[in-house]
Structure 1
């Protein structure tokens, strides 16, 4: 008679097995949570329409699972963020926003398919599946035209409101970093920013541009082995390590001079310039470099289209449209420069290509030499017969 062990008995047990268990990290603002997120955590978020940049950061941090106390996808606009997580075998559960406060940092939880055990509480949840992502994505695609019309209206409305502000120069701040007649590389935390920055190594090595990190873009520079000269922004998504790296700091302030990010700088015992400017921190970085008479502006991870802006909670791009009109003659995206410098780099693939080219040229010359000899031989024979 065979003996059943405990693992065999579990097959016949009616008690469901947990899908996931572990320690949690909790954050209502995803980019703030990501600043110092330990690997292997179950993260609890409040992130409506999970965007691709946040999804990639969660993947890079090797999170175990995501519990979202918001709609992971609302169907308002298309996004591949949730699908990116699912493709990496990172499960997503959705819970009601009202239960977010029940989750405490560093608590241990156990997650089943339809509920979460948190100490002595049981919280209802539902698994976000690929089928749900596909349904929401199709729904969003059907609304694209209507969404675009609203986005254009919003963009033009705010562009009309801010057009006089963009014509005025920024308030003068005495930064020590010299930008005049220099290439300036501005790194923002946008889609594909890490990959694009890695592709720009040859350009950075040869030109040695001034490096400006916009908030979390400063951390991307450090990760790639570069020390930013300037860090600008609201100072919400950049790490303490980056802020303390020795870069010159410029805090983005509202038009009235209020700068919420300055309190964090003060808490770290650092000093910073305060620069009032309309629009986004990325807009401010572009205007600052432009007005400091840089020669060329190169952007990495810059927002370029409607979905980029919607994912950042902006229903239009009025300020960015105006700023790009103002600085446009000097503005280049890193993808253009990356292609140029990649083609100039001496890589293994380039060596192979050259070898094959020379081989086929030699082969062609050999064939041509053989053909000429054959023709000469035929001509000689015909002449002899004549």
Structure 2
């Protein structure tokens, strides 16, 4: 029965973060298809910084981890990155949650629980900055054991890849000339686009060969730059970027597995892109650095490739991939971080002082014209020259 004049009260929105669930145990596959507003549901013990940065870059609404994001074995950086970006992280919901949460369903995160509508389907711990800080303090006790394991794995990697690391055996040939040239290697990261803009002066002056590692190629393309080399799994690079690479004669270097299988190679070849395989067990970032060194680059500048102790340890499988450490030893003084280059290329004269000097010069010219009686004749020309001078000055300072 309806009563005239009465309206149904609108339902109040349920509290928490709502999004479409993207579920996958394989983190790499999940990162390729996740998008803004989605909620990532993964199984990642000791969530690493690189995965967290990729989730932040994808603009996810939230993250649900079946495993503990901080196990206490070492102070990993991923949870801190997510929470600092304002992304809720519900931790340790258990492996069963990956079966309960269906791909493409709408879920809601609130107070450590996962809901479908008003029905709770999983529960864990919602991480906060305070909880993470306390866990990281305890996790530092595990650093000694992790360093020992890292050292053992480094020795094993050197035994397995010593011909590559020591003598460059297995490095593929390239059509792109690198000898005697500077190389800028760009990998994905949350602030890499801004760091790339800070290198505009360096790029104009030295015109380095641009190397995009995986999604780093996408960052270069979005900034209007043309990578000469793309290193990594081609399946993670948009087709339009690969086609643009084919048009300008760029090359793709595809990491190959020990048995020679190179995932994504057929897709690249079908698009008409020149491609070579690089059989090695190192990461795509490390293969890019080894390529630059082996082919005689005079300097290798990096963006998005962090190399501190915590970054070395904060990698997949607790540092079981020690190629980063040995690769950086191999390059030595050739390797420079892009932030240092940006600092060295900043103008020493402030923008304000330069503009003040330009204004003073223009004023002196104007006074000279007025005194000579030619001011009215050249007023329009002077105004045009002034605007052009200002535009040039701003472009030089940028």
Which range, TM-score by smaller chain? 0.7 to 0.9
C-alpha separation in 1, matches of 2:14 and 2:80: 25
2: CA distance between counterparts of 1:337 and 1:175?
Answer: 26
Structure-2 residue corresponding to 1:85:
82
CA gap 1:354/1:220 in 2 versus in 1, 3 angstroms = same
Aligned to 1:142: 141
1:59 aligns with 2:56: yes
Structure 2 residue 272 is matched with structure 1 residue 301: no
Of the candidates 114, 118, 123, which is equivalent to residue 116 of structure 1? 114
1:42 match? 39
Larger radius of gyration: 1
* Alignment match, 1:272: 275
Q: Give the distance between the partners of 1:348 and 1:278, measured in 2 at CA.
A: 48
Using the TM superposition, give the Cα deviation of residue 201 of structure 1 relative to its aligned residue in structure 2, in angstroms: 2.0
CA distance in 2, matches of 1:54, 1:256: 27
Alpha-carbon distance between aligned partners in 1 of 2:257 and 2:9, rounded to the nearest angstrom: 64
Match of 2:346 in 1: 342
Q: Is the 8 A contact 2:178 2:297 kept in 1?
A: yes
1:287-366 residue pairs with structure 2 within 5 A?
287-313=290-316, 315-316=319-320, 318-344=322-348, 348=351, 351=354
Q: How has the CA–CA distance of structure 1 residues 89 and 60 changed in structure 2, closer, same or farther, with 3 Å as cutoff?
A: same
1:276 Cα shift? 1.9
TM-score, with length taken from structure 2: 0.73
After superposition, give the CA deviation of every residue in 1:162-202 in whole Å (9 maximum; x if it has no partner): 32342333447453322222111111236854443332221
- Give TM-score, length-normalised by structure 1: 0.75
| Contact 1:213 1:221 survives alignment (8 Å) | yes
1:210 and 2:209 are equivalent in the alignment: yes
Segments of 5+ residues of structure 1 without an aligned counterpart are 11-15, 356-386
User: C-alpha offsets along residues 220-264 of structure 1, whole Å, 9 cap, x if unaligned?
Assistant: 222332121110123354444433331421111134422134255
Contact in 2 for aligned 1:309/1:316 (Cα 8 Å): no
- Report the secondary structure of 2:41's partner residue: strand
Query: Using the alignment, how far apart are the partners of 2:278 and 2:97 within structure 1?
Result: 39
Instruction: Summarize deviations over 1:205-230 as a string: whole Å, max 9, x none.
Output: 22111001111221222233212111
Deviation, structure 1 residue 313? 1.1
Residue 115 of structure 1, CA deviation? 4.0
SS at match of 1:244: helix
* Alpha-carbon RMSD: 3.5
State how far apart, in whole Å, the 2-side matches of 1:244 and 1:41 are.
28
